[in-house]
Amino acid sequence: MDGMETDSAMSFEEKLQQVQDLTGKIEAGALTLEDSVKEFEKGMNILSELTNELNEMKRRLTVLQNGKETDISDENVQ
């Protein structure tokens, strides 16, 4: 693995750091347009994984909070 590939064993924080690193590379302006698009695509894929993880955590917290699964509004999850 080249350090920029996602891995299900990576922690949420490691994935978030990876997105921040990709953002920094793009913002530095040293990449070609094609490479910038590739890095952007990688970042979006990782963000999708992070969103899925957050949704799962929200579901688990809802179960723990209520003793049964019911949806809670997004403004209550911070």
In a domain, 10, yes or no: no
pLDDT tens per residue across span 46-64: 999 999 999 999 999 998 8
What is the chain's Cα-based Rg? 16
In a domain, 48, yes or no: yes
Q: What are phi and psi of 67, to 5 degrees?
A: 75, -5
pLDDT tens per residue across span 21-54: 999 999 999 999 999 999 999 999 999 999 999 9
In a domain, 27, yes or no: no
In a domain, 38, yes or no: yes
**Total domain count for the chain?**
1
In a domain, 16, yes or no: no
Instruction: Give the count of beta carbons closer than 10 Å to the beta carbon of residue 42.
Output: 17
Q: Domain residues for 57?
A: 33-69
